Amino acid sequence: MMLSSARPSVSASSASGGGGLGARNKSGGVGRARASVGTTRVSGVTRVVVAAAGPDPIPAAVASKMAEGTKTSKNKGFRETMGFASWAPEVINGRVAQLAFVAGVGAELATGETLPVQFHDHIFSVVFVSTLVTLASFIPGIQARRYTAEPRSKGAFGPFSPKKEMMHGRLAMVGLAAALYLEQSGAPLFLR
């Protein structure tokens, strides 16, 4: 097995941000653990390999931190990302619907224009915001190395999570469609 080193040598104290964290050696004292972190490719699968460079074992927490730094994610192609069963169409439509619902209701409360009238009179704004949201949804996949543009790759951030974003997007799509349907008569649904 061939080991190509992503980082030639990393000490345990530098992997944990300093502070002298070390491993216990055979005599009971605390010594500095050194390790080599690299990747190996077997049958088309890339695996992270941590090999000890000395007689001292590497604590699991330190080895885990060292391995996290070498992880990369694979971005999918356009067809896989925008496919019927993929994440992008529903997430992007949900984000656009959330913005459209909040902006439409706010503008209706401020001006008295119904949602269908707003969509008809301001189609350029709707297309511009939809394009901007679509492009912004793919920026993390272009810039990030440890996660993709797919929301599940980043995980939760405080009260925000990919599941909640999906639920709120679905609610906004249903709410926007219902408001457009109910306001076809011309009477505003949201009164001032």
DSSP alpha helix (H) spans, 82-122: 88-111, 115-121
- Three-point CA angle 59, 64, 68, nearest 5°: 155
Give pLDDT tens digits along the chain (192 positions): 444 444 444 444 444 444 444 444 454 544 554 556 666 666 666 666 666 556 667 777 777 776 665 555 556 666 777 878 788 888 999 999 999 999 999 999 998 889 999 999 999 999 999 999 988 888 877 776 666 777 777 778 888 888 898 999 999 999 999 999 988 887 777 776
The whole model's pTM is what?
0.56
CA angle 118, 132, 97 (to 5 degrees): 50
